[in-house]
Every structure is written in structure tokens, then in C-alpha cells.
Structure 1
């Protein structure tokens, strides 16, 4: 088993350290046990969920509950739960794998599954007392009970700690009385237990509570919300009116609710990325099958370059998203294992393991949710007029995908979080940004090298481009920090532009490392499609980095400084040998079209 010191790149350090391809985890590294779990989940989805896609559009909440019950009977709800609480106690990568493949057929089940296994169960697993875990976790792990998470209020969304729900201690000190309103509560209609956040007196931070759903105890539900998508996901308001809760049902410590909420969201963010993976694969499968069957101008539309370009880019984004999601998942798993070996409890190890990679979790949440939306949008376009019809599968996929950019903190919040957390890690000395940023500054004022690099090794120029993209981030973010200091948090547009650069670096690097690892494991010919997708994604990532960095530079730099930085940007986003994008797209598209599926 790996130790904490072995080639470890801690959270956020991908920006300043070069990862070795052999040290990262890829989907090609799944164990036989993980492959069996994946296949059993796929078989369940193909049997129980996919054939009922139309039914999920009819607000059949009972069907979602039945599917969840069956998933519990098969053990899928307890994958992340320790065995002593009737779970499977599987590793973090396996929990990602189950979330990935159970979520692809419909957003309604994906939401119910994510809300229950993540924010509905994990807070008790990670913060509950032994008595609380023994009482509630086995029921949640087996699907006997379902959980829901009550954080959002009419006046408290992104600002989670601003909630008005109150918890008042009874005169005898044995109960708290909870009063307040929660909204957008997934699984509210059929859950048995709520994780509720409320404020005691004038505490600075909210506190968590475990509340069993008893409608005779001052709990009432609003009507099912009318939503754009996820039609069979039960979403209601929940009202607490002097609801009586035993003091022993406080979750964690008093005032610790905000910490619980934020750490639950870290796990939720990477799991949400996983939930968007098979959704993309299934859209690609459906789109290419339609393209192969649809004949216009006496030929299949799958032979048209405009369609093939869409299929190639859809497949490329899905490949990149897999690469980055499982890379981060294994990093988290290794960190958890290392902490356990060092003597930490399961609770502490998992909390700190996920918290370590909170930057990566935010990156994945944003990028993968946006790629999923693009994928479904292109799916509609490939279907043409039929894609706009509710009788075709693309319309519901597009609507279901839309919520992913809002869940677990909006993508705007997560963009700013990713850069903000990177800056905090630098200030704490966990990521050395100052040294590399100063080196970049010296490089910009120095004489550039005119030597022609040796790019004979596979993907060597691509890896060099990644290094230059990292320099771009250090140049822009470093100069902005120097100018604004702590006030940089007031420049949200600049933070979001910097975040886009940071995110493209992580995603592109993950794809390149996966492709390189598979070249080394097999050979260039066998890995040519992976190499092509890595090269394709990098090209568009470089273009985006150039755009966002330029926007940032001209927003805060002037005169000679601006000229110098723009010259540096030109140097850092220039290929020595530009890839043939159309040829790469055709290579990927041909594979997708010929196999009539997402084959990677």
C-alpha cells in the first residue's frame, strides 16, 4: 500500500509539481472487483431504469423510491458505508464507480441516489457519535430508510451559514425545539430522516441535527416543486414548527454545522462529477446510433463532417472527464489510506482525505457538469428537429443536466472557491506559489531561449504545453495578487478567469497523463485514440487559457507591465508544432461511428 510520502502530489500541488504518468490512476487500472461492481450496476440500470425513461418524465416519485429500494437491496446504497454498519466498506474509487454508472440513465435517480448516499448519509458516518451511527447508518445503508439534507432556505443559498432556522433548548435541557423553513430538499417526499441545520441562540455558526420524519412532530411538507428537469426526483419545502429533537441527536459539536455542511459538499462535488460521466456516455451512444441510422441526401448523417466533429468532441470531453475524476478519486483514496495507517479513525481519515483535495473537487464539479450540458445540447443538435421533441431521449437529458451546474454550490461559487482555496494553501505553505511565480517573472524579463526542443518522445510537446499553461496561471494570478492582495476576493471576474485557467490545466494534464500511461503500458498504435483525444482537448484548453489570461491581464495591468505580460502569454500559448485538429477529430469520430458507441 502506498504511503503518504511516495510520489505524493497533495491537493492543489498539481499546479507547481509535475506528476508522473505511472503514479496516476486511470480507468484502465480498475481491479477485477471494481469491474464486476461496475458491470453489476450497469446491468441493474439497463434492466430497471433505462427502459422506464419515459415514466420518469411523468413525475412518478413512487418509481424513484422503488428503484432506490432495489438499489439498497443490492448493496449499492452502502458502498461507502463501513461494514460494521451493514455497508460494503469499499474504497473511494469504487464508491465513485457506483455513483458514475447508476446515475447515467436519468437525473431523477441520480439526484435521489446522490442526495441519499452523500449528503443524506455521510454527515452521520463522518460526524455522528457511535450511538448515532449504530442507530441510523444500517437503515440508510440498506435502503430501509432514506435520508435528506436540509440546508438551503429562502434567504440562505450560497451563503449557507446565513440560515434563520432556530434551535431552542427546552427548560429541562433534554430537547431542542427546531423552527424554520427549508427549501429545495431532495428526497423530502419519501425520506425517513433529515439532516437539518439550525442556529442555537446567537451562535456565529449553525449546528447540525438528525431529525426523524414524524409529521406529528411539527414537520410539514410543501407540494412537489415544478421543475425544469429531474421530474421524478421528489423536491419539496420542509417546515419545522417547534419540532422536538432529543439533545443526543445533535450532529457533531455545537456551532460545527457549517464545517459539516462544507465537508459534505466537498464529497458531493466530486461525486456529482462522477454522476455526469455515464450520462455523457449514454448521450453519445444514443446520438451516434441515431446519426448512423438517419439518412439525408441519400447518406447517413454520421458521414457528414459537421456531425463527426460533434461526436469527436463529445467523446473527447467524456474521456477527459473520466481521466480527471478517477485521478482525483484515487488521490483521495490514497490519502485516506495513509491517514488510517498513521492511526487516524475512519471518520478522521475520510474527512481529511477529501478535504485535502477540495480544490480538485471544485474543479471537477464545474468542468464535468458543464461538459455534460454541452454533450446533451449537441445530442439534441444531432437529432435535429426530433431532438427538440419530448418523444426523443435528448430533450429530457438536456433538462436533467441543467441542475448539475447549480447543485453542490453554483459553478460560479466553485470557480471562486478553487482559486481562493489555492491562495489559502499558498499562504499556509502547503503549495509553494510564490517561488514558481517569481521564477516566471524573472523568465519574462530575461532573454528567451531559441533552442528547438526535442519532441521525439510521445506527448512530449503536450507535456511542455502543460508546463507553459501553469506558468500562465502563475503570471496572471501572481501579478493580480501582488496588485490587490487580500482585496482580490472583490474582483470576481478576475477570479473566475483565473479559475478557468486553473481548471483547464488540471483537466488537460489528466488526459495527457492517462494517454501517456497507456502508451507506456501498450504502444503508440494501441493508444492512438487516447493520444488523439488528449491532444484535441489540450489544443482547445490552450485557446481558452489564452482568452481568459488576456482578459485578466488587460483588466489590471497597464503600460510596460501589460505589454510584457501579453508577450509572455503569446510565448506560453504558442505551439512549436500545431496539431492537425481536423485529422485528430476524424480519427476519434471514425472510431465512435464505426463502433456505434462510446468505445473508450
Structure 2
């Protein structure tokens, strides 16, 4: 993509809830270049050739083996995908690095060790490091000669990251900081060499430091015994009077929150990409099993309820995949403008990443919950065998559960989604309230009768109505509660779910419209069926959430008036989604894998 094209297609983060999006400018998996497909293939071959055959050893938590495999990934350039070429990396676009993340999921726990290193472990230095820090650390991290870990969580502070108690005190001669504290649940801690550590300078200024394992006073606690992801290392990091040179302060004193939250944004997005891959793996395992297993004298894949499960698994994966690569495309546009040689690269990076923090949270919540649904249904299709460890679906189920907790719980992310939108509106970055005022006047007018003829026209209309429903309910919540809105967590959660649904619906619709433009309606038939089924069903949820929000805020005649307005916005014809799901199921069962 040329820089000229990139500049023309830049969109504001969060604007999707109030603006129509040109679907032709959205990145979809069908847009992958030959080079991107080759990167995906290289990753798959690495997992198949190096990791899969040693899966049982990895699962037993063999540090030496994990590091050896990370080194091999480094030799292939996979560890340096996000690292600029000037520092020994490949400097790939975000679509390519997202593909790597997706294709690594068959590597199970190793994928987590890999992801923590290349993502939250390395990216703080890529985006916020000084030239000297980049020269010193990035070439070693890109090859796997050094392994990284990210240290934010503490025994008493998880989602409340700024409540951290770890301290940093500048020495009298100004040559180093003395760090004291304990970090908990640190992925890769058992074998990492470089730790990105958050501490408060003088107990108040939240800051970031690059800590090396060999520094005096650094020690590692025992491995946690976990429900899943057993092949990844998770230990406490203990810091006792650790002398960290001032040169190892990342960015500036007091800027730690900007680094932490923006790196978490990237982490949330990368987590969603991993969920795409794991969901595809679960569909492949479950459809193949359904074709093998016979009950009552026939293959269980021939039973409509099993087919319905496979169809719904495929639909959610299709929608998630559409969301993830759309977001990767947005990041490519935003991050292309960062000048890594600039003196203010930290500010540029923070601004570029923060632009889509709301979309990152949306991807994380939808992705983790979609995978949990897919994994759960996969176990159900396997029946009793799904509960047995020798069947891979059992591990996918266990491993998936952490995703709703990782990188900020889904509850915290649900509060962040509408909260971030309102903050952007208050700063004048998005015309949210202006659009809401315009809508209020529009809703007083009679609604025109809708006639739909073309494919996806009813679903496109429902998307437009969903945006109006969000504006109507969201604006009323802001007006009613004002600064106290953040205390109304149930309402914020429902507003977040409506926003998540809008982004999901729009991503699926945009992708399918591009497929129709490219190949015609016949070849896009499966994508059309999945999009129609998803949008129709999701719109039902949006209506239910909106009713609950309105009923929580008002009562009596005021509520009746609002519900009558909502009824106008939710008027639609019923669609036979069960028949659509039978069509989708037949394709999944025939292919024995995720299909589009």
C-alpha cells in the first residue's frame, strides 16, 4: 500500500459508531499479498516442523526447549517481525505480524511464550526506547539471543495498574535508580533475560525501566500451577535494591502509564489475533470428529443440532477474523507515520497506538468470548472424549479461559470502550454529542417505510439503526449521569456491548461486500449467509440491551415514549437463520475446517 493511499484512508478511532465507513478501504483476509501469504506459510511450517512434534515436552514446561525453539523462530526472522530493519528486524506491516500471531496458535503454550516476547516484551523498546537502547537491545531480542518479559501486575494490583507499589529511587550521584518490589504472574519470567518493569519514582511518578536478569537483587519466584497454558512460564519477579542505570529508564519519568496502556492496547489486539487461530483449530478438530463419530447408526455430523454448533462456531470466527484484519489495517495506516529516528518518537508512537485503543479493547473482548464459545461447543461435539486430555480440544478449552483475564479483564475493557469514546468526544476529537442532538430531532419525525431489494440491504439498514440506537441510549446516559456515569457500570457494559456489536457487524458486512465486488454473489454465498445470520441475531441482542438501559434510566410515560422510539428503530422482518446455518454447516462438514 502506498503512503498516498494510506493518507487518504486514515480514519479516526471510534468514529465507526457515528460515521458510515467506506467498505472498500477496509483490509480483509482476501486482500493478503503474496508476501503476506508466504510469511503465514513460513510460520505454519515452523510450527509443524519444530514445535508440534515436541508438544508434550513443551507442555511439561521445559525452559531449555522453549528457549531453543524461540532461537529457531529468531533465525527465521519471526521474532523480529515488529522490529525495524535498522535494528536487525524485518519491520513488517501489522497485517503480516497479525498473520504470524494467528498461525502460531497450533503451537499451544509456546505461542504464548513467543507472543509475550515479541509483543509486550519487545515493543516498549521499539516504540519508546532511545536510540542507544534500541541499538543495545533490539538486535538481541530480534534473534532470540535475549528473551523479554513484561512486568506490570503486582500481588495487590492487576487491572488497577497505577496502584502498583514497586518503587524506584534515584541515587544521590544520579547514576542509577534503586528498584524494590514484587511483580506477579510474569509470562516468560523463568527464562527471560530482559524485563520491562513498571515502578513509581519516589513512590509517585509511574515510570518504566529496562531491567536485566544479571543485575544484583533480581530473583525469580516459583512457577505458578495454572489451569491451562501449562507449557508457558509464569513466575513472580522479585526486586531487592536493584541498581538500574539511568540509561535504562524507558522514555521519561512519569510517562510509564502511556507506555503501559499503549503496549496493553497492542497486546489486546494481538490476543484477538491468537483467538482467530485457536478458533479455526477448534473448528477443524470438531468437524473432523463429527464426521468420524457415529451414534444411532449415523455420523453425528448429520444431526442438525451438531451442524448448528459448527455453523455458529464458523460464523463467530468469520466475524472475529474480519474485525482483527480490519484493525490491523488501521494500525498500518497509523503507525506508518511514526518516524523511529525522531527525537519525539515516544509521543508519536503513543499517539498512533492510542488512536485505536477503543478498537483494541473491542477485539479483545469479542475475540476472547468468541473463542470461549467455539472451544466450549467443540468440547460438546466431542462429548465425553472432549473431557479427555489426549484429545486436543480439551487443551484448547482450558487454555482459552485465560484470555478473558489477560491484558485487562473483559469487565475493565467493557468500561474502557464507552469511557474512551466519551473522553474523545469531550476533547472535541469526535462529534458525538452533535450527532446525538441531530438524531434527537430526526427521531421526532415519522420513519419512512423501508423497501429492500439488493443483497445485504436489510443488514446494512440494521447496522445504521444500531448506530442510532447507540447514539440515542448513550447520549441519554451522558445527559442523565454526566460525571457520575462511570459509576453506572451495568449501563456502560451494555453500551460497550452495543459498540462491540456495531464494529463486528460492520466488519463482517464490509468484508462480504468486498467479496461480492471481487468475485460476485455466487462465490460470496457463504460469506453472505454468515453475515446475514450474524447481523440479524446480533441486532436482536442490541434491541434487548437498549431496552434494559432505557428501563434502568427512566420509568412511566418517559420510558414508554423512549421504548416507542426504540420500536421504530428496531422494526424489521424475520429471517430464517436456521436455514442459513444449515447451509453453512454443510460447507464446514464437507471441508472439515473453517470455511469462508
Name the counterpart of 1:131.
Answer: 132
The answer to whether residue 508 in structure 2 is matched with residue 506 in structure 1 is no
The answer to whether residue 432 in structure 2 is matched with residue 406 in structure 1 is no
Could you list the per-position Cα deviations for residues 284-308 of structure 1 after superposition, in whole angstroms to 9, with x for gaps in the alignment? Answer: 0000000000011111100100100
Distance 2:256 2:280 in 1: 37
Distance 2:395 2:467 in 1: 38
Distance 1:306 1:441 in 2: 44
Residues 1:343 and 1:190: Cα distance change in structure 2 (over 3 Å):
closer
Name the counterpart of 2:20.
Answer: 18
What displacement does 1:527 show? 0.1
Residues 1:231 and 1:142: Cα distance change in structure 2 (over 3 Å):
same
Distance 1:387 1:62 in 2: 31
The answer to whether residue 586 in structure 2 is matched with residue 587 in structure 1 is no
What displacement does 1:584 show? 0.7
Could you list the per-position Cα deviations for residues 314-358 of structure 1 after superposition, in whole angstroms to 9, with x for gaps in the alignment? Answer: 011111001011111101111222455999976655433221111
Name the counterpart of 1:207.
Answer: 207
Could you list the per-position Cα deviations for residues 234-275 of structure 1 after superposition, in whole angstroms to 9, with x for gaps in the alignment? Answer: 000111110111111111101111111011111111111111
Name the counterpart of 2:37.
Answer: 35
Name the counterpart of 1:98.
Answer: 100
Residues 1:47 and 1:341: Cα distance change in structure 2 (over 3 Å):
closer
Report SS of the residue matched to 1:245: strand
Unaligned 5+ runs, structure 1? none
Distance 2:126 2:511 in 1: 33
Residues 1:350 and 1:39: Cα distance change in structure 2 (over 3 Å):
farther
TM-score by length of 1: 0.96
Could you list the per-position Cα deviations for residues 175-210 of structure 1 after superposition, in whole angstroms to 9, with x for gaps in the alignment? Answer: 21111111000000010011111111142x311111
Report SS of the residue matched to 1:268: helix
Distance 1:265 1:445 in 2: 43
State whether residues 447 and 568 of structure 2, in contact with CA within 8 Å, keep that contact through their aligned partners in structure 1: no
Name the counterpart of 1:46.
Answer: 48
What displacement does 1:418 show? 0.7
Distance 1:52 1:491 in 2: 49
Could you list the per-position Cα deviations for residues 359-414 of structure 1 after superposition, in whole angstroms to 9, with x for gaps in the alignment? Answer: 10110010001101111101100000010111211111111001111111110111
Name the counterpart of 1:65.
Answer: 67
Distance 1:498 1:269 in 2: 20
Once the two structures are overlaid, the 10-residue window that deviates more, 334-343 or 6-15, is: 334-343
Report SS of the residue matched to 1:475: helix
1:211-360 to 2 correspondence within 5 Å? Answer: 211-214=211-214, 217-338=216-337, 349-360=348-359
The answer to whether residue 172 in structure 2 is matched with residue 175 in structure 1 is no
State whether residues 75 and 88 of structure 1, in contact with CA within 8 Å, keep that contact through their aligned partners in structure 2: yes
State whether residues 444 and 564 of structure 1, in contact with CA within 8 Å, keep that contact through their aligned partners in structure 2: no
Name the counterpart of 2:595.
Answer: 599
Name the counterpart of 1:372.
Answer: 371
TM-score by length of 2: 0.97
Distance 1:105 1:372 in 2: 16
Distance 2:139 2:412 in 1: 34
The answer to whether residue 161 in structure 2 is matched with residue 165 in structure 1 is no
1:459-538 to 2 correspondence within 5 Å? Answer: 459-538=456-535
Distance 2:6 2:434 in 1: 24
Report SS of the residue matched to 1:233: coil
Distance 1:459 1:302 in 2: 29
Distance 2:222 2:450 in 1: 67
State whether residues 105 and 282 of structure 1, in contact with CA within 8 Å, keep that contact through their aligned partners in structure 2: no
Distance 1:175 1:548 in 2: 53
Distance 1:266 1:169 in 2: 30
Distance 1:519 1:349 in 2: 38
Distance 1:221 1:185 in 2: 10
State whether residues 258 and 350 of structure 2, in contact with CA within 8 Å, keep that contact through their aligned partners in structure 1: no
What displacement does 1:45 show? 1.5
Once the two structures are overlaid, the 10-residue window that deviates more, 7-16 or 33-42, is: 7-16
Could you list the per-position Cα deviations for residues 119-157 of structure 1 after superposition, in whole angstroms to 9, with x for gaps in the alignment? Answer: 111111111111111001100011111001111111111
What displacement does 1:457 show? 2.2
Name the counterpart of 2:559.
Answer: 562
State whether residues 444 and 565 of structure 1, in contact with CA within 8 Å, keep that contact through their aligned partners in structure 2: no
State whether residues 167 and 203 of structure 2, in contact with CA within 8 Å, keep that contact through their aligned partners in structure 1: no
Residues 1:409 and 1:341: Cα distance change in structure 2 (over 3 Å):
closer
CA RMSD for the aligned pairs? 1.8
Could you list the per-position Cα deviations for residues 79-107 of structure 1 after superposition, in whole angstroms to 9, with x for gaps in the alignment? Answer: 0100011100111111111111113441x
The answer to whether residue 578 in structure 2 is matched with residue 552 in structure 1 is no
Name the counterpart of 1:115.
Answer: 116
Distance 2:341 2:436 in 1: 34
